[in-house]
Chains A and B, each alone.
Chain A
Amino acid sequence: SQQGEEDPQALSIQEGENATMNCSYKTSINNLQWYRQNSGRGLVHLILIRSNEREKHSGRLRVTLDTSKKSSSLLITASRAADTASYFCATLNTGFQKLVFGTGTRLLVSP
């Protein structure tokens, strides 16, 4: 299977703390993307990092990419209750035209 894996599967933190989620994948990629899914809703694109980039920031989000280890991490700083959702990484694999999604991390941020 091409599907990546995310770690941890579930994460529970308090408001104000940082949340770190990790993603591992298996093949060569063009880019890696992170998406968010609120319960019962569709996915929303958060941030994209290209294969030649190592780190990217967007607001409270920080993404790193290590292509030698085939892994990425998403850091959400100063988390809020509204950040409660599932977070998925997705890779655009070299030579393919489709995104392959990871298994997701369920984040719960308690007030």
Chain B
Amino acid sequence: NAGVMQNPRHLVRRRGQEARLRCSPMKGHSHVYWYRQLPEEGLKFMVYLQKENIIDESGMPKERFSAEFPKEGPSILRIQQVVRGDSAAYFCASSTQDSQTGELFFGEGSRLTVL
């Protein structure tokens, strides 16, 4: 049973370009979370999605950032017109539909570098 798969693992973009980060949750998991981690810091919640629905996007900047989790295919975190401050590791995590504990299974992260 494959774990949470994220790609790309590393992404380099120039200021103003777009970054697309993908996340395939564990098999059987229908809840996806995106977190952002700056160097030497903890994880900051960005967005929580279920299939075709955004449940909580309170941690996501209002501009330039968007997320989706379509009926088919991976969840996508999209950052438009990237700036240097977007450089970070972006982690995806998933959980089962009936999880009562909130335990999350994490991917290895996508590390975005903005030049």
Contact = CB atoms under 8 A, between A and B. Distances in A.
Interface in B84-110: 91, 93, 101-109
A35 to B, nearest CB: 8
A31 B56 CA distance: 19
A30 interface: yes
Contact of B41 (A42, A45, A48, A103): A103
B55 interface: yes
Contacts of A25: none
Given A31-B101, A98-B48, A43 B42 contact: no
A84 B38 CA distance: 20
B48 A104 contact: no
Contacts of A103: 41-42
B42 A101 contact: yes
Interface string A59-98: 0000000000000000000000000000010001000111
Given A41-B108, A42-B108, A42-B109, A104 B42 contact: yes
Interface size of A as a range = 20 to 34
A100 interface: yes
B115 interface: no
Contacts of A48: 101, 103
Interface in B24-78: 33, 35, 41-45, 48, 55-56
A10 to B, nearest CB: 10
Contact of B45 (A31, A88, A98, A104): A98
B56 A98 contact: yes
B55 A97 contact: yes
A44 B107 CA distance: 9
A20 interface: no
B56 A102 contact: no
B54 to A, nearest CB: 12
A42 B91 contact: yes
Interface of A: 3, 30-31, 33, 35, 41-45, 48, 88, 92, 96-104
